[in-house]
Structures are given as structure tokens and as C-alpha cells.
A = this chain, B = another copy of it.
Amino acid sequence: MTNKGVLIVLSGPSGSGKDSLLQQVIANGGDIALSISLTTRQPREGEVDGMHYYFTTREQFEQKLASNAILEHTIYNGEYYGTPKDAVDAQLAAGKTVVLEIEVEGAANIAAQYPDCVRVFLVPPSLTVLRQRLIDRRTNTLEDIERRIAIAKQELTHAPGFDYIIRNCVLTDAAADFQAIIRAEMLRDKTILDEVMNL
């Protein structure tokens, strides 16, 4: 019997470590399928189209939006970010644990469309540490950083609506937290009782 997969929505402020967390989970051998976002922003150095993001034009993105082929989208720093719905549905149907890494505002839209999804909010150890992380990236101006901190504060107000909060103090611990959530959530499946009764 094949069961439908679990959809995990991973969200949290910019700089909370979502990318690093998922890389660590995959390095640990965690059996997760990542959805790849479509975006109109320019690739950063080292980012590969079809691996980190699908990069596209504004015109093409808006065409897909108009045909409801995008599960959720947001505009951040003036650029579109979206999740192609067909790819997610195919992975869930195949019984995979699908992780959607999305901006905080987009998480509510996903939950509305997938009521059984599991929402995980990743937070930095503190706002002070978050500020330092953004400074360490050396790609932001001080003005950018203060704006991001202000956004993070606002985003943190959404955290209580999530199912789980992971505080990313040590990456390996945070990854283990995430894997424990996946393992536990799979134990919510009641269909195994049929097998127990009938074998």
C-alpha cells in the first residue's frame, strides 16, 4: 500500500539558515524531496538553474501565475519567487516527504491549499546573532541589514501559528530536530493498523 507523502513547509526569516539546514539534512541521508522555486531574481554566484532555483523572466512568471501553475508566490526585494504546483503534487503522490522552503508570508497560502501540511519555523538564536550573520555575508549594506532585521521581527510574529519552532543555534542539532519532526510525523499514519490487524 502506498501512502501519500508528507508535505513539510519550512519557513523563517532571511538569515535563519533554511538553506544550510536542508543541506545538512541531505548530508545526513535524510530522505526528503526539495521543491525548486521559480524566481525572476538574478542568480547569485554559484547558483545553478534547475538546482537552486528555476530562473525565469518576469513575463514568463506572470504567464504561469495567470494559469494557476504556481502554488504560492511572493515578491521580495522587487523579484518574484514561486513554487510550481505540478512538481509538488507529483512528488506527494509518489509518497515522498516534500519540503517547501518558502517565505513566511507564503506559508499561510500553502497551508490553505494543503491542510495536512506540517509547518516548521526556523529561527536564529537571537536577533543579535541574525544581525551578525547578515553582516558576515558581506553582500548587504548596513541599511539593508536593518531593513531585514525589521522584516525578521515582523515575520517572527507569525511563528506561533506554525506547528514546530526550531531554534538554529547549532546546525547539526537543528538538522536532527528537523529529521525528528519528519520521523514523528510519519508515525501519525493510521493506515498501518490495517496491516497489523490482517497479517
Which chain A residues have a beta carbon within 8 Å of chain B's beta carbons? Answer: 123-129, 153, 156, 159-160, 163-167, 176-177, 179-181, 183-185, 187-190, 192-193, 195-199
Report the bound CA distance from A65 to B51 in whole Å.
63
- Chain B residues lying within 8 Å of A199, measured Cβ to Cβ, are 125-129
- Given the complex, which residues of B lie within 8 Å of A129, measured CB to CB? 199
A159 near B193 with CB under 8 A, answer yes
- Is there contact, CB below 8 Å, between B164 and A192? no
A168, closest chain B residue (CB)? B196
Q: Note all chain B residues with C-beta closer than 8 A to A160.
A: 190, 193
In the complex, chain B residues whose CB is within 8 Å of the CB of A126: 195-196, 198-199
Q: Flag if A180 contacts B190 (CB, 8 Å).
A: no
